[in-house]
């Protein structure tokens, strides 16, 4: 019972903006990493299929980075509009 009281006191005293920004940062990181991993797998698959030495992998790495940053940009803009 005392533990629950201490936890409630701690979480109510911490401003909610800290948790908002921590969630946003973790969402940004996961978005970039997941899109990059998917792009690498697609690039490696195409390299193996067409017997190229990393051409598609490098190409899809750049595409994955671009797609990740574009997705992050849209997430931040959407969250900013909702606030």
9 confidence band (pLDDT: 50, 70, 90): low
**Looking at the chain, how many residues does it have?**
83
CB atoms within 10 A of CB 68: 22
Which residue did the predictor score with more confidence, 31 or 6?
Answer: 31
* Residue pointed to by tokens 């990181």: 29
Give the Cα separation of 83 and 73 in Å (integer).
Answer: 16
User: What end-to-end distance do the CA atoms of the chain give, in Å?
Assistant: 35
pLDDT of res. 30 = 93
32 confidence band (pLDDT: 50, 70, 90): very high
Report the candidate in 83, 72, 80 with the shortest Cα–Cα distance to residue 33.
Answer: 72
What pTM value is reported for the model?
0.73
Per-residue pLDDT tens digits for 39-56? 999 999 999 999 999 999
29 pLDDT above the threshold of 80: yes
pLDDT of res. 21 = 80
* Residue pointed to by tokens 């490696």: 44
């Amino acid at each position: 019972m005392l533990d629950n009281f201490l936890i409630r006191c701690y979480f109510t005293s911490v401003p909610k903006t800290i948790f908002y920004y921590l969630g946003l940062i973790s969402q940004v990181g996961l978005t970039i990493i997941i899109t990059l991993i998917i792009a690498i797998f697609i690039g490696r698959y195409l390299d193996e299929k067409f017997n190229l030495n990393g051409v598609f992998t490098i190409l899809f790495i750049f595409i994955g980075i671009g797609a990740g940053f574009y997705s992050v940009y849209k997430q931040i803009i959407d969250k900013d509009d909702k606030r």
